Amino acid sequence: MATATTHGARDHARAQEGTHAEAMPVVPASTWPAPPCEAGHLVWAETVTGGNYTHRVLARGTELRLTDLRGHACAHLLLYAADRPWERLNVADTVKVQWNAYLAEGRLLLSDQGRVLASVVADTSGRHDALCGTSTLVRNTRRYGDGTPQSASPAGRELFKLAAAKNGLQPRDLPPSLSFFQGVEVREDGALDFTGSSGPGGSVTLRAEQDVTVLVANVPHPADPRPGYVCTPLEVLAWRAAATRPGDPLWEATPEGRRAFLNTTGFLAARGLV
């Protein structure tokens, strides 16, 4: 067997150089075919399989586009201020401050400090969720037989633990997450209806309004009624751009949003970052 010795294993590993798989990071990102930005501005290019995760630290002003390639991806997202992870995505504040439980273009993703971590600048899917969070080990074990990261049906929270650890974070640092491309609607009686996806090719673009740590788990939505573990590849692209400024329609859209942007820029200005 070629890999039975150290030399054989080394030679086998080196022979894989240049091999491309459907789901893998592209390094450097600038070699991605047909980037959605100016040449040389792409900083992250990756395809994430169903049941896998990814993570990256993005600079303020970076735009991040998630695309549901085949119609069954579900991107569960967590955000943290990159140099102070105790400031993180607060789903409850994101919903209540904007008087809306449904994510869409123009919404802001808020921290527990009343500041903007990211804004939704484009959305062609419309099927997202800020209510249910991601799947857990207990739930996936009960439903699919296993929920560990190495299984055929990993839970979102278990994958988030791995992504978090690679950024110096612990399980206790994992708040409720947002979900893109799979959603629910609330009935009059308070029950939830699973809406499914909008089909292949739907995308959502976020703009980082601070330096942020991004964690993404691509796993089935916890309200997905299908008996099988169905989750298809997710495309992740990010490129250098500019943060939202005063006078931008997104900045001026609502009094609550304007205040959140003022909180953000005031904090950054005090640190000499704007």
Query: Within a 10 A sphere around the Cβ of 39, how many other Cβ atoms?
Result: 7
Strands (DSSP E) contained in the chain are: 42-48, 52-58, 63-68, 75-81, 108-110, 116-123, 128-129, 178-180, 183-186, 192-196, 203-208, 212-218, 234-239
Question: What are the distances in angstroms from CA 50 to CA 149, 238, 246?
Answer: 12, 20, 39
Span 234-260, pLDDT tens digits? 999 999 999 999 999 999 999 999 999
Span 107-158, pLDDT tens digits? 999 999 999 999 999 999 999 999 999 999 999 999 999 999 999 999 999 9
Asked if the model's pLDDT at residue 92 lies above 80, the reply is: yes
Question: What are the distances in angstroms from CA 12 to CA 4, 5, 47, 147, 241?
Answer: 10, 10, 24, 32, 40
Span 36-70, pLDDT tens digits? 998 889 999 999 999 999 999 999 999 999 999 99
Model confidence, pTM: 0.94
Q: Please write down the HEC assignment for all residues of 131-178.
A: CCCCCCHHHHHHHHCCCCCCCCCCCHHHHHHHHHHCCCCCHHHCCCCE
CA distance 112 to 90: 5
Q: State the pLDDT at residue 49.
A: 97
- Map out the domains of the chain as residue ranges: 48-270
Task: Quickly tell me which residue has 């990756």 as its tokens.
Answer: 46
